[in-house]
Structure 1
């Protein structure tokens, strides 16, 4: 996930200080990816260093206000018009964990799969309930949150299906018996 581009995108709307950016990001994404405020300010410092944002001074309460530069607008425009690269898949901790478990003695891979499936199914139920609740009284501003929830639902469904496949392959390895 690109915090850099997300913050730039939010600054296109209007100048903000770090905490406002954090709240706005979490609000617009349904709090699916909480941001650490330190990460927000570190990213803003880098964006300023790269001339993509500038400090506009402080508001009356001492908050430093940031605004996007022309270079920043060009950067975020490029981000929105470019596909997310699929050339190198993101690290998947679960896939790494199960791959290693299969190759190490004494690890109960079946138990690891079972444990993860239970957590994934619970998450799927929670996402589905949240989506149903939001959709039942949807406001026009909820569309972004619904898209995020849909993405989480599809990813979790795929994970559960993959865990089923892992379990089936384990059974094949064990052979008849």
Structure 2
């Protein structure tokens, strides 16, 4: 997540001080990614150092107000115009946990998968309810939150499908290892082939 560009985008709207920036960011994203106020001010210091924002002094109430510079506006425009890079995917704690679990002795991988699936299902239900409750409103802030909710719903649905695939692969691994007596059908009845991501070829 680019805090740097997010703060610049908010300053493009109007000058603000650090706490206002944090509140605006969390309001527009539904507090999905909370910001530490110290992180906000550290980022502002770096933006000022790089000539992307200017320190406008105090507002009379002890707050230091920042505004965006022309260079900062150009930076924001470039950020919005450039696709998000996929060459360095964000660290996925769940994928790391399962990757380690399957390579270490004595770890109940099936239990990890089942516990995570239950948690992901609960999260999906919560996101879906939030989306339904928010969809009735027409404010711009609600539209922004709906976009975030849609992203969270799709990501969680994909995670559940991936967990189905992981469970099916564990069954196949047990079978290939000659432990058919210990192997069991996935709890959701989905095979690895059914759960695997569909490519452009097999979508046809």
> Unaligned stretches of 5+ in structure 1?
none
Match of 2:106 in 1: 106
> Unaligned stretches of 5+ in structure 2?
182-204
Which structure is richer in relative contact order (CA contacts within 8 A, separation 6 or more)? 1
Match of 1:6 in 2: 6
Matched, 1:81 2:81: yes
Please identify the structure whose Cα radius of gyration is greater: 2
Match of 2:196 in 1: none
Number of aligned residue pairs: 177
The one-character-per-residue Cα deviations of 1:121-155 (angstroms, maximum 9, x if unpaired) are 11111100000001133434311110000000000
Q: If the length of structure 1 is used for normalisation, what is the TM-score?
A: 0.97
Q: Secondary structure at the match of 1:11?
A: helix
Mapped contact 2:27–2:141 kept (Cα < 8 A): no
Higher-helix-fraction structure: 1
Match of 2:122 in 1: 122
Mapped contact 2:51–2:72 kept (Cα < 8 A): yes
Match of 1:172 in 2: 172
Distance 2:41 2:89 in 1: 28
RMSD: 1.0
Alignment of 1:19-168 (within 5 A): 19-168=19-168
The one-character-per-residue Cα deviations of 1:25-62 (angstroms, maximum 9, x if unpaired) are 00111111111111101110110111111110001211
Cα 1:111–1:125, aligned 2, differ >3 Å: closer, same or farther?
same
Q: Name whichever of 36-45 and 88-97 sits farther off.
A: 88-97
Q: Secondary structure at the match of 1:136?
A: coil
